[in-house]
Amino acid sequence: MMNEYLKKQEKISAQTKKTYLQTASTLPFNITTTQATIIKKLKMLYDNPNTLSLYLNMIILLRRDKDLEHDKLIKLRNELREKIIEVRKSNMTDTKNTLPTYTELMDKLNEMTGIRYILNYILITFGLRNKDINLLYVEKLPTEKDDDTNYIIKSKSGYKLNINDYKTESSFGTKTIDITDSKFKTEMKKLNFKDNSYIVPKKNGDKLKLNSFNDKVISLTIDGLGETKIFKILVKHLLDKKDFNKLEELVNTRGTSLATILKSYNVYNNDSKQDEKKTDEIKEEIKD
């Protein structure tokens, strides 16, 4: 049913279609049953409001397409939005109090070598997501590159990232990033990647699936922080420095809007009056 629906949808991005197909395959019940049954089963299966919303979005789209009642599902989704905001703000407060500083992060980065240095350097410097850094090393970018592949290419000045497969590709297009850092070049040379090989592969050399790659990246990041927490540390550091030019650069390298950065990755965005005041001040500074 989901596959048939998505074939008709031209405005839904390829990434969203992929997510919906994966999500639909895990549903243990028929979405044409009553709304009350759907709500009951979803609440039994999933506690996380974000996960619940994902399933609700998909089910609402399908039921609307089949002209089935969905008003109660929409009502629940709207109620979940408030819960999502509450959870996010609570997490922001906890995160602000427990995250290492940017200086501590950089000190640990500078002690690293090999693939750990490579991955952490990219995450900290450019604010990329895990999916972006599932990279295939090539000596030269293929004439007919694969749109589902992200490349790292040797260049005259160092290395170039050519990122085609990422969360917001439909809005931002291919991302290209030049890396000229001397230690990065040294560590890449030491790793001696063969042409057309993944920098973090399966044992047989093939590309890791996203879930497996996510787990691998977390194990390799500084203190097991993962890319989201690293990005929050980076954003906090730039806000504290009032380096809004660098924040604008992150809009392009991460492939997200400044509004999203300030809403979802800003540790000052919580219910604390002091932090609320700081966020307002930040927004005014950016306007100026």
Query: From first to last of its 288 residues, what are the pLDDT tens digits of the chain?
Result: 666 766 666 666 676 667 667 767 777 788 888 989 989 988 888 877 778 888 888 888 888 888 889 999 999 888 887 777 666 655 555 455 568 889 999 999 999 999 999 999 999 999 999 999 999 999 999 888 888 899 999 999 999 999 998 888 878 889 999 999 999 999 999 999 999 999 999 999 999 998 899 999 999 999 999 998 999 999 888 888 888 888 889 888 998 888 888 877 776 765 444 445 545 554 555 554
Q: What is the pLDDT of residue 30?
A: 83
Q: Which residues lie across from 159 on neighbouring strands?
A: 154, 179
Q: Which two tokens stand for residue 112?
A: 């690293």
Q: Which two tokens stand for residue 256?
A: 């997200």
**In degrees, to the nearest 5, what angle opens at C-alpha 23 toward C-alphas 21 and 25?**
70
**In degrees, to the nearest 5, what angle opens at C-alpha 96 toward C-alphas 92 and 99?**
120
Distances (CA, A) of 103 to 100, 110, 124, 234, 287: 8, 11, 11, 10, 28
Beta strands, E only, 64-204: 135-138, 150-154, 159-163, 175-179, 197-198
- Location of structure tokens 């990219």: 122
Distances (CA, A) of 147 to 13, 118, 119, 164, 219: 14, 23, 21, 5, 27
Q: Which two tokens stand for residue 244?
A: 């809004």
Element (H, E) at 163: strand 159-163
Reference 139, options 80, 62, 192; nearest CA is 192
Task: Supply the pTM of this predicted model.
Answer: 0.66
236 vs 173: CA distance, rounded Å? 27
If one counts every other C-beta atom within 10 angstroms of the C-beta of residue 127, the result is 27
Q: Which residues touch 29 (CB under 8 Å, ≥6 apart)?
A: 37, 38, 41
CA 189 distance to own-chain centroid: 28
- Location of structure tokens 């070598």: 113
Q: What is the pLDDT of residue 96?
A: 53
How deeply is 191 buried, as exposed, middle or buried, from its count of CB atoms within 10 A (0-12, 13-18, 19+)? Answer: middle
Reference 159, options 134, 181, 142; nearest CA is 181
- Location of structure tokens 């057309």: 196
- Location of structure tokens 């070049």: 185
206 vs 202: CA distance, rounded Å? 5
Q: What is the pLDDT of residue 49?
A: 77
Q: What is the pLDDT of residue 288?
A: 47
Q: State the Rg of the chain over Cα.
A: 21
Q: In CATH terms, is domain 102-287 a member of 1.10.443?
A: yes
Q: What is the pLDDT of residues 155-166, one digit of tens each?
A: 999 999 999 988
